Amino acid sequence: MGWVIRKREHGNIVFIDLRTVKEPWNPLQIVIKKEKIREETWRNLKKITRESSLLVEGELVENPRAPRGIELYARNIDITHIAETPYPLGKKSHPPEVLMQWRHLAIRSNRYTKIWVIRDHLLRLAREYFMVNNWYEVSPPIIVSTAVEGGATLFEIKYFDNSKAYLSQSAQLYLEVMVFSLGKVWSLTPSFRAEKSRTRRHLAEYWHLEAEAAWYRFKDNLRVQEELISYIIQGLLKNPVTRHIIEEFRGNIEHLEEIKPPFKRISYDEAIDILQQHNVDIRWGDDIGADEEKVLSEEIGQPFFLTHFPSHLKPFYVKLDPKGPETCLAADLLAPEGYGEIIGGSEREDNIDILVDRIRKEGFDPEAYSWYLDLRRYGSVPHSGFGLGVERLIWWILKLDHIRDTIPFPRLARVKKFI
Ligand code: 4AD
Ligand code: MG
């Protein structure tokens, strides 16, 4: 069962490359010999166009020169549908705007099919990691009443008559609620950010893998992150299918093969030093943005944690460093090769007075967070967690140019028409 990628006719023999349901990422060569099939079937072959759908019956034969090492010698071909011509994405390569406009067809290309296979396996491995280590998967809401990551990127929605709500930026606050029931929890949900910046790493809707655990301190949190990332990467390299795809996209996988815990930890202070040595115009207290991350990420050459940011750079929920409130117990995990932040995480503030103060400083009303503050009133515990951007991880693992290629239906600020 499959779709025609290509058809080549050579007299009494016809070759068709088929994208099959069984191994969609790996086209199967169909060999059709005139003398082996019914006359009517042979005549119908003429009508077969690109993306036509077929049921082919025949014999699988080994052929080391065929792309899959095997090919199918057809005995019978049942045409399910003859695709209209011309196929809108007929030519070999297309600019990104065209691929976005025809996204519903572009997603079938061999390149995209391979990316979806990686995406699927990556998510399976992430889930497996949490299962094996006894974390509970929970289902937080998408329609929420409060901001987590600042007001600037909030999508506001009308909620029934007169009240308003938001699309979730992060499940974190709800996961913090759930640790009191289950101890160690994680979730995979869409997160929404009204990011106006046009970058190669921001989506307006992305998939967020988040975890939160009671009694986990700053260091425990980093350990989970480096284990999870290593588990996913090693798992992808162990499976011959995903290994092959990654090799094809990256050129080589040596770099990924070396990834195992522990990852390097670099403090914000050290990062500022490194950046200044690279003649970057930056002072203590300035944010480390995409450009600075790129410098660090290329310099260090492996995934690393950037730790102990100045407190004013991080949201209200991050615990202030007991050694001094100018810095806080937050860490970002940065991917190498210029890719930058793929995870943001921290130990959470458990002092209710500090929390109220910091919520106010961010311009929010503590009243709206009373349910969250209750967590510090009834059985408060130290706890930590993090959020991984699924698309950021795929983007780096496959060394893609733009994050839009990691998700079938990207939502981007500047693309206002979408399916
Ligand atoms: O660093 P962020 O904003 O952290 C949080 O949301 C925390 N509340 C998570 C937590 O502790 N539970 O986002 C986490 C990650 C980033 O490191 C990045 O990988 C990804 O989410 N991310 C985006 N990915 C794609 N497009 C965007 N606009 C993204 N914004 C964040
Ligand atoms: Mg962040």
The response to whether residue 358 sits with its C-beta less than 6 Å from ligand 1 reads no
CB-ligand 1 contact for 342 (6 Å cutoff): yes
Q: What are the CB-based long-range contacts (under 8 Å, 24+) for 73-78?
A: 73/31, 73/33, 73/36, 74/30, 74/31, 74/32, 74/33, 74/36, 74/37, 75/36, 75/37, 76/37, 76/38, 76/41, 77/32, 77/37, 77/41, 77/44, 77/45, 78/54
Cβ(334) – ligand 1 distance below 6 Å: no
Residues of the chain with pLDDT > 90, as a percent, come to: 92
HEC assignment per residue over the chain? CEEEEEEEEECCEEEEEEEECCCCCCCEEEEEEHHHCCHHHHHHHCCCCCCCEEEEEEEEEECCCCCCCEEEEEEEEEEEECCCCCCCCCCCCCCHHHHHHCHHHHCCCHHHHHHHHHHHHHHHHHHHHHHHCCCEECCCCCEECCCCCCHHHCCEEEECCCEEEEECCCCHHHHHHHHHHHCEEEEEEEEECCCCCCCCCCCCEEEEEEEEEECCCHHHHHHHHHHHHHHHHHHHHHCHHHHHHHHHHHCCCHHHHCCCCCCEEEEHHHHHHHHHHCCCCCCCCCCCCHHHHHHHHHHHCCCEEEECCEHHHCCCCECECCCCCCEECEEEEEECCCCEEEEEEEEECCCHHHHHHHHHHCCCCHHHHHHHHHCCCCCCCCEEEEEEEHHHHHHHHCCCCCHHHHCCCCCCCCCCCCC
* Alpha carbon nearest to ligand 1 atom 22, residue: 389
Q: What's residue 90's pLDDT? A: 83
- Region 150-169: mean pLDDT is 93
CA distances to 162, 317, 347, 381 from 215, in Å = 40, 16, 10, 6
Closest Cα to atom 9, ligand 1: which residue?
387
What tens digit of pLDDT does each residue of 309-344 get? 999 999 999 999 999 999 999 999 999 999 999 999
b/e map of 134-158 (b: 16 or more CB within 10 Å)?
ebeebebeeebebbbbeeebbeeee
Tell me the average pLDDT across 48-61.
97
| Ligand 1 contacts CB of residue 26 (under 6 A) | no
Specify the pLDDT at position 416: 82
Are the C-beta atoms of 55 and 78 separated by less than 8 Å? yes
- pLDDT, residue 221, reads 98
What is the model's pLDDT at position 67?
78
Mean pLDDT value across residues 68-82: 96
Which residue, by CA, sits nearest to atom 6 of ligand 1?
A: 170
Quick one: pLDDT at residue 192?
98
What pLDDT score was predicted for residue 167? 98
When pLDDT is averaged across residues 3-22 and rounded to a whole number, the result is 97
| Per-residue pLDDT, 198 | 83
Nearest to 149 by CA among 203, 190, 194, 202: 194
Q: What is the mean pLDDT of residues 84-112?
A: 92
Q: Give the position, in ligand 1's atom list, of the atom nearest the Cα of 403.
A: 25
Is residue 210 within 6 Å of ligand 1 at its C-beta? Answer: yes
pLDDT tier at 93 (50, 70, 90 boundaries)?
confident
Tell me how far the alpha carbon of residue 332 lies from the centroid of ligand 2, in angstroms.
Answer: 7
Determine whether the shortest distance from the Cβ of 412 to ligand 1 is under 6 A: no
Q: How confident is the model at residue 162 (pLDDT cuts 50, 70, 90)?
A: confident
Q: Percentage of the chain with pLDDT > 70?
A: 100
Instruction: Take atom 29 of ligand 1 and give the residue whose Cα is closest.
Output: 202
Closest ligand 1 atom, CA of 148? 8
Write the pLDDT tens digit of every residue in 386-402.
999 999 999 999 999 99
CA 33, CA 15: separation in Å to the nearest integer?
9
Find out whether the beta carbon of 392 lies less than 6 Å from any atom of ligand 1. Answer: yes
pLDDT band at residue 115 under the 50/70/90 scheme: very high
Model confidence at 265: pLDDT above 80: yes
pLDDT at residue 128, rounded to an integer: 98
Is any ligand 1 atom within 6 A of the Cβ of residue 395? no
Looking at the predicted structure, is the pLDDT value of residue 91 above 80? no
Res 161: pLDDT: 87
Q: What is the band of 63 on the pLDDT scale with cuts at 50, 70, 90?
A: very high
Yes or no: say if 352 and 381 are a contact pair by the CB < 8 Å rule: no
Band the pLDDT of 292: cuts 50, 70, 90: very high
Flag whether pLDDT at 92 surpasses 80: no
Q: Is the pLDDT reported for residue 268 higher than 80?
A: yes
Distances (CA, A) of 200 to 176, 342, 391: 31, 13, 11
What's the gap in Å between 344 CA and the centre of ligand 2? 5
Q: What pLDDT score does 76 carry?
A: 97
Given a cut of 80, whether residue 36 has pLDDT beyond it is yes
Tell me: pLDDT of 193 over 90: yes
Q: What is the spatial distance between Cα 341 and Cα 334, in angstroms, rounded to a whole number?
A: 4
Does residue 112 or residue 198 have the better pLDDT? 112
CB-CB contact of 311 with 326 (8 Å): yes
Mean pLDDT of 367-377: 97
- The answer, yes or no, to whether residue 196 has pLDDT greater than 90, is no
Q: pLDDT (tens digit, 9 = 90+) per residue, 206-264? A: 999 999 999 999 999 999 999 999 999 999 999 999 999 999 999 989 999 999 999 99
Arithmetic mean of pLDDT over the chain: 96
Q: Which residue in this structure is represented by tokens 């069962």? A: 1
Q: Which ligand is nearest to the CA of 388?
A: 1
Most ligand 1 atoms within 8 A of CB, residue of 193, 305, 347 to mutate: 193
Whether residue 21 is predicted with pLDDT greater than 80 in this model: the reply is yes
pTM of the predicted model as reported, rounded to 2 decimal places: 0.97
Q: Is the CB of 117 under 6 A from ligand 1?
A: no
Question: 385 CB less than 6 Å from ligand 1?
Answer: yes
As residues whose CB is below 5 A from the ion ligand 2, the structure lists 344
Residue 403: nearest ligand to its CA?
1
Nearest residue by C-alpha to atom 21 in ligand 1: 389
How many CB atoms are located within 10 Å of the residue 24 CB?
A: 18
